[in-house]
Amino acid sequence: MKTTIKWIDNMMMVGESASGHAVVMDGPEGLGGKNLGIRPMEMLLLGMGGCTTVDVVSTLKKMREEVQDCYAEITAKRADEHPKVFTEIHIHFVIKGHNLNDKKVAKAISLSADKHCSAAIMLGKTAQVTHDFEIHE
């Protein structure tokens, strides 16, 4: 996998993925940015959220669960001193579907957290990663 980051000016940069997609990143005005893009550390959380959500949905579909919608709300805390790594990450899944089995939902989340989601497992080396869920019909 290969990505490129192009510095634009001040704290702004554009990242391009190997698949040809681009994203603007920028810092806050207090650090010389113009607040015109997502922060790099936010990108880490978004990447982890995307990775684990895909895992959960695909696992539930393999379990023949009728998933209609799924989203993850992620909250995180960072260390006060450099390196300001994530120290706590909590993922709250909201899963909508018809007759969803809560044991299967819990199993799908556990499989993602413990086995499938490379991003969550990697971030778990510095942060305590926790999760919970709610089911909506």
In this prediction, residue 101 carries a pLDDT of: 97
Whether pTM > 0.85 for this model: the answer is yes
CATH superfamily of 40-136: K homology (KH) domain (3.30.300.20)
DSSP class per residue in 109-129: HHHIIIII-HHHHHHTTTSEE
List, for residues 22-41, the tens digit of each pLDDT value. 999 999 999 999 999 999 99
| Structure-block tokens of residue 137 | 């019909």
CA 6 to chain centre: 23
Tokens of 8: 């634009």
Fold category of 1-38 in CATH: N-terminal domain of TfIIb (2.20.25)
Domain assignments of the chain as residue spans, ordered by start: 1-38, 40-136
Which H or E run includes 24? strand 22-25
- Mean pLDDT (the chain, rounded): 97
50-73 pLDDT per residue, tens? 999 999 999 999 999 999 999 999
